[in-house]
Structure 1
Amino acid sequence: MLFNSWEFAVLLAVTFALYYAPWSAGRHGKAWQVTVALAASVVFYGWEDFRLVALLAVSCVGNSIATARIILHKVAGDEARVKQWTRLAVALNLALLAVFKYAGFVAGMLPFLPETWVKSLQDIPLPIGISFYTFHGISMIVDVARGEVTREGDAMLTRGTRFAKGVRDIGFYLLFFPQLVAGPIVKAKQFWPQIAAKRFAEIPWQQVIRCLILGYFLKVFVADNLSEQTVLLTIGSGQLSTASPFFLIPLLYGYGLQIFADFGGYSLIAIGLAAMFGYRFPENFNFPYLSSSITEFWRRWHMSLSAWLRDYLYIPLGGNRKGEGRTYVNLFLVMFLGGLWHGAEWKFAIWGTLHGLLLAAERFITRRRGKLADAPPSALRSFFGTLYTFHAVTLLWLTFLMPDMAHVRAYFEGFASGNRSVSGPPLFSLLFYGTPVVLYHAWGWLREHRPGFAGRLARPGLEGCVHALMLFLLTVNPGAPRGFIYFQF
């Protein structure tokens, strides 16, 4: 079910009414609200194919049992058993992901497998959002094993009837519909302490309105309209190789703006919806196209995934604590695996590898210059760094959109085709629908570099006018409804 569908609007209205029903203020308010939200999440996820709920249930119950065992051994002081259960649970989560997402990819590289086996494995359907709820399960297991949420977990997962309630609450954490399919990736230590009865009077309506209006505007008006042009990049490779650069370049920049508007819009909608139900989600985007380096870009783009990769992969691998050479290897490995996380295709592995190489190169250069990577650059260096980062990131987005590497190669062949014709629709789409993303980042620049002036602009009256304009535009000129880009991951 899509956030930008009438079915979801009906589900949200019914869920909200039941969630804050008069009896939710009673002694069993928490149990009622968690159950309502959990039921809504099951409907939300299983709307297109209810069979997927069975896989979700297996993940939820398996992680609940493993978490309970880890907590019991943690309380008993049996660290050996804690490590055994942690390794087992993480391995099972990764196995689930491997079977449904990577089995066909790996099978295609094994020449000794029969063709029928390879075809069967490649035909396994990819459950929507499996990467996200698997990462949620792994982070929960690891956080409990590290003792970072032991007290909350101990209260949730003691024996008897409390164990059943604990499984319910863990299911709520894993399945909560705002973040179920595409994040943000919320850690157990962030979410578990928030599980409690919520009151209608405590809803932060200002945050809800801001997030929902901006999120839907970025998705419905900006991303969906841009996609009507950028989809032309997926036409046959033969047509791309003979296209004009004045056709190809606007489409690539348009996609760079589209993927931010699409995923950034989704994250804002998720944050706003969670706030409606009394839960705080971490910020997922922080004006990423203002970044003056690839390193900074990954501190601003999909921040919950970056934090997950850092906490559960980069640091356990040794981070930067085991020498300069090992640091470069870790950077490369994390980004390579981060690329494969986006999809079981070589184009994603190449995308992650190139980002990893750029991160390693930046670290090498800053170390040789004797400057810390976190040191603020001069205004001139920041300007040129932002130009470099934006263009490098935009160029690498090609691998996200193109069906295969042959299309990527054909894109660059178009520059040598000799065709110099100018196509109006791609240019108009980039300028008209891309301008809001530019203005959004300009606002971010003011907030960071001219906070006083930004504060004077942030007046309720002006903000209300901007929100009214956004609502008007997304109502009168929505793009053709499309799924969110990150649903495929």
Structure 2
Amino acid sequence: MLFNSWEFAVLLAVTFVLYYAPWSRGRHGKAWQVTLALAASVVFYGWKDPRLIILLAVSCVGNSVATARIILHKVAGDEARVKHWTRLAVILNLALLAIFKYAPFVVGMIPFLPQSWVQAVKGIPLPIGISFYTFHGISMIVDVARGEVTREGDAMLSKGGRFAKGVRDIGFYLLFFPQLVAGPIVKAKQFWPQIAAKRFEAIPWMFVIRALILGYFLKVFVADNLAEQTRALTTPDLVGLSTSGPLFLVPLLYGYGLQIFADFGGYSLIALGLAALFGYKFPENFNFPYLSTSITEFWRRWHMSLSAWLRDYLYIPLGGNRKGEGRTYLNLFLVMFLGGLWHGAEWKFAIWGTLHGLLLAVERFFTRRRGKLEENPGRSPIRALCGWIYTFHAVTLLWLTFLMPDMAHVRAFLKGVTCGQYHMSGPPVFSLLFYGTAVVFYHAWGWGREHRPGLSAKLHGPFSEGMVHALMLFLLITNPGAPSGFIYFQF
């Protein structure tokens, strides 16, 4: 079920009314709200393919039971049992990913397997959002085993004296529908303390309205309209693509760079708004990423919950920057390579991650040589501008691997850019200028907030904010793009 569908609007309305019904104020208010949100999450996830609920249930129940056992053994001081359950839970999560996401990729590289076996494995469907809820499970297991949330977990499991209640609450953390399919990746220590009975009057309505209007505007008006043009880059006609010329292809690539931000940034804002509507606070996932003046800064601003996950559960355990410069560069490369494969079991994603890892390592090498661990302080406006131009174009060029179905399309695109044909098509340029301008204005506002806070505060009044929100509502209602799924749902 999509956030931008009528089915979801109905589900949201029904769930919201029942969630804050009068009986939710009673002594069983928390149990009612958590159980109702769990039921709504199952409907949300299994709406188009109920079979997916089976896999989701296996992951949820397995992680919930294992986490509960780890907490109980942690409190009892039985570290041997803690390690046993931790290994079991991590293996379960990795096995689910290996079977449903990576098995088709691996068997395709084994030459001596019978084709019937290969086709059977490649026929395994990829469950929507499996990477996100698996990462939630792994982070929860590891944090509990490390003792970072043992106190909250012990209180959760012991309250009411029932083990089942604790398992239910853990499952709620894993399945809560705003973040179930595409994040943000919320850590247990951020979410568990918030599980309690919620009150209607405590809803932060201004935050909810701002997040939902902006999120739906970025998705419905910007991303969906740009998608109608960028689909031309995935045409099966590779010959036509390779002879299209730069004046046709380059605007489409810029358009896709703006589209993927509007699509995923819009989703994340909707998720934050929906969570707040039900009394929960999620971490921000984007911080004006196209203002970045280096690839390092870009990964501090783009999909921040994934960047934090990769840092805490891959980069630091691998040694981080504590084992010498050579090992640091290797760790950066490995983390980004694996982060690329997380996005998809295809070589194009591995190449995307590898190139980002190489750029991160090169940047670190040169900043270390200059004796500056921070890339921004003290830089002249000219150097900052050059850094922004380099970063934006490097990131945009690498988005080709997300858009294109395979590497043949990437090669055809690059050939088309250099083919010498210079005919221009109006619709891609118009779409880039008309719809993409919204993303430019959004980042300009972000730049003003960061660099001219005084002026930004003067311009940001109730009247101006109301006018902007009214304009966004008018545009997304009167000029929506063709409805499409969120790009990151495929991961």
Matches within 5 A, 1:135-150: 135-150=135-150
Q: Residue 273 of structure 1 corresponds to which residue in structure 2?
A: 274
Q: Residue 451 of structure 1 corresponds to which residue in structure 2?
A: 453
Looking at structure 2, the residues matched to 488 and 26 of structure 1 have their Cα atoms a distance apart, in angstroms, of 40
Q: Alignment length, in residue pairs?
A: 489
Looking at structure 2, the residues matched to 165 and 415 of structure 1 have their Cα atoms a distance apart, in angstroms, of 59
Q: Residue 389 of structure 1 corresponds to which residue in structure 2?
A: 391
Matches within 5 A, 1:403-414: 403-414=405-416
Matches within 5 A, 1:357-376: 357-376=358-377
Matches within 5 A, 1:11-410: 11-158=11-158, 162-235=162-235, 236-376=237-377, 377-410=379-412
Amino acid at match of 1:266: Y
SS at match of 2:307: helix
Amino acid at match of 1:153: G
Amino acid at match of 1:337: L
The CA deviation string for residues 361-404 of structure 1, in whole angstroms up to 9 with x for no partner, is 00001111111135523322111111110000000000000011
Amino acid at match of 1:100: F
SS at match of 1:419: coil
Q: Is the 8 A contact 1:363 1:373 kept in 2?
A: no
Amino acid at match of 1:248: L
Looking at structure 1, the residues matched to 17 and 201 of structure 2 have their Cα atoms a distance apart, in angstroms, of 14
Q: Is the 8 A contact 2:264 2:486 kept in 1?
A: yes
Amino acid at match of 1:223: A
Q: Is the 8 A contact 2:198 2:278 kept in 1?
A: yes
Q: CA deviation at 1:111?
A: 1.2
Amino acid at match of 1:166: G
RMSD, aligned CA: 1.1
Q: CA deviation at 1:160?
A: 8.8
SS at match of 1:39: helix
Amino acid at match of 1:239: G
Q: CA deviation at 1:76?
A: 1.7
Looking at structure 1, the residues matched to 482 and 170 of structure 2 have their Cα atoms a distance apart, in angstroms, of 37
Looking at structure 2, the residues matched to 279 and 379 of structure 1 have their Cα atoms a distance apart, in angstroms, of 40
Amino acid at match of 2:118: V
The CA deviation string for residues 181-221 of structure 1, in whole angstroms up to 9 with x for no partner, is 00000000000000000000000000000000000000000
Q: Percent same amino acid at aligned positions?
A: 83
Q: CA deviation at 1:152?
A: 1.5
Amino acid at match of 1:417: C
Q: Is the 8 A contact 1:37 1:172 kept in 2?
A: yes
Q: Is the 8 A contact 2:211 2:270 kept in 1?
A: yes
SS at match of 2:98: helix
Q: CA deviation at 1:159?
A: 10
Higher mean C-alpha deviation, range 176-185 or range 151-160: 151-160
Q: Is the 8 A contact 1:242 1:419 kept in 2?
A: yes
Looking at structure 2, the residues matched to 443 and 87 of structure 1 have their Cα atoms a distance apart, in angstroms, of 46
Q: CA deviation at 1:477?
A: 0.3
Looking at structure 2, the residues matched to 80 and 381 of structure 1 have their Cα atoms a distance apart, in angstroms, of 54
| Inter-CA distance 382–25: structure 2 relative to 1 (3 Å threshold) | same
Looking at structure 2, the residues matched to 160 and 85 of structure 1 have their Cα atoms a distance apart, in angstroms, of 24
Looking at structure 1, the residues matched to 208 and 129 of structure 2 have their Cα atoms a distance apart, in angstroms, of 24
Q: Does 1:431 align with 2:448?
A: no
The CA deviation string for residues 235-272 of structure 1, in whole angstroms up to 9 with x for no partner, is 12211111111000000000000000000000000000
Unpaired runs of at least 5, structure 2:
none
Unpaired runs of at least 5, structure 1:
none
Amino acid at match of 1:464: G
Question: When the two structures are superposed, what TM-score results if normalisation uses the length of structure 1?
Answer: 0.99
Q: Is the 8 A contact 2:286 2:304 kept in 1?
A: yes
| Inter-CA distance 208–182: structure 2 relative to 1 (3 Å threshold) | same
The CA deviation string for residues 90-120 of structure 1, in whole angstroms up to 9 with x for no partner, is 1210111110000000000111211111111
Looking at structure 2, the residues matched to 367 and 280 of structure 1 have their Cα atoms a distance apart, in angstroms, of 37
| Inter-CA distance 387–416: structure 2 relative to 1 (3 Å threshold) | closer
The CA deviation string for residues 37-56 of structure 1, in whole angstroms up to 9 with x for no partner, is 11100100010011111111
Looking at structure 1, the residues matched to 153 and 42 of structure 2 have their Cα atoms a distance apart, in angstroms, of 23
Higher mean C-alpha deviation, range 63-72 or range 438-447: 63-72
Q: Is the 8 A contact 2:250 2:417 kept in 1?
A: no
